Structure 1
Amino acid sequence: MHRLNPLFCSILVLALASSGCDGTATYDVVAASGTVMLDNKPIEGVSVTLVPQRGIKGRGGYATSSSDGTFTLQSAPEVNGVVPGNYLVLFRKYAMPDGSPVPPGTSAADANLINQLPEIYSHPEKSPIYATIPATGPEGLSFQLSSRPGKR
């Protein structure tokens, strides 16, 4: 049996959510940024994906965290910000199979990249993390991830 890659599923969800009748639908967006931490430390290179929940129009959002864990969401390459509403949030941090950083321009499929974060954070059916983006824009999103979710 062939299993679908969670990254592929997330991209597919975002693509389907973004398509309008003529493919050019636009929605009002608000600026949204925040910080992602792993075990109370900022983490660089984390892919943050917002998957729209019921009733949200638009594409969702995505970003990559910088060295201090901060990120700024966008809903398309040329659109900073996201449509206000409720989102499922997914997180991934890819590395080469030997654990080394991913070279620029490397394709996930060709390089057999691995996700260094626990699967629960990247699985659309298991992620426990949701965010609400208010119409006025959030003060700043803060996500605290654990390398051992459910353990204290």
Structure 2
Amino acid sequence: MTLRRTLAAALVAALPVGCGSPAGSPSAEVTGSVTLDGKPLAGAEVQFVPKGNAALGLHAAKTDAGGRFRVTRDAPNNPVKPGTYAVLVSKVSGGNDPSQPGGGMEAQKNEVPAVYQDRNHTPLTAEVRDGATELPPFAITQSGPAK
């Protein structure tokens, strides 16, 4: 009976190791949506690039049919950390079959204006808090941000 209790105690003590964030290392989950000219942007890549603190790490997600995305821990050692991020959005279409005429990379087109893909010029930013952060929709347009 004593051996059983000792093993049970050791098992319980070992459970927190490797699960979740290390103590004192907050992590976050970020949700939001992207629209292009007022319509949900499905199949777009949304990247969160740290602004001024590279230790925050890069995170990315793909939008669903409704333009919604969810960014969480990419890997056990890469949690989404609270901080300020530049948000990049891109959606590449076309050029999927290089064996067909006009089907190579030269036929690919990014449906999102280049400014939303440039970490130094994107007008999109996000302030991520510890825990759950629901961002307001990122409403982008083909004409780019208003000046």
TM-score by length of 2: 0.67
Partner of 1:50: 48
Partner of 2:137: 142
**1:31 & 1:80 partners in 2: Cα distance?**
12
Q: Which runs of 5+ in 1 are unaligned?
A: 1-25, 104-109
One-letter amino acid matched to 1:120: V
Partner of 2:115: 120
For these two proteins, the number of residue pairs brought into alignment is 118
One-letter amino acid matched to 1:29: S
**1:66 & 1:79 partners in 2: Cα distance?**
26
Partner of 1:76: 74
- Give the C-alpha shift of residue 124 in structure 1: 1.8
**1:50 & 1:30 partners in 2: Cα distance?**
13
Identity %: 24
1:80-119 → structure 2 map (5 Å cutoff): 82-97=80-95, 102=96, 111-112=105-106, 113-119=108-114
8 Å contact from structure 1 (residues 73, 80) kept in 2 = no
Partner of 2:65: 67
TM-score by length of 1: 0.65
Structure 2 CA distance for partners of 1:95 and 1:140, relative to 1, 3 Å = same
**1:124 & 1:90 partners in 2: Cα distance?**
7
Structure 2 CA distance for partners of 1:80 and 1:42, relative to 1, 3 Å = farther
CA RMSD of aligned residues (A): 2.9
1:36-47 → structure 2 map (5 Å cutoff): 36-47=34-45
- Give the C-alpha shift of residue 79 in structure 1: 7.7
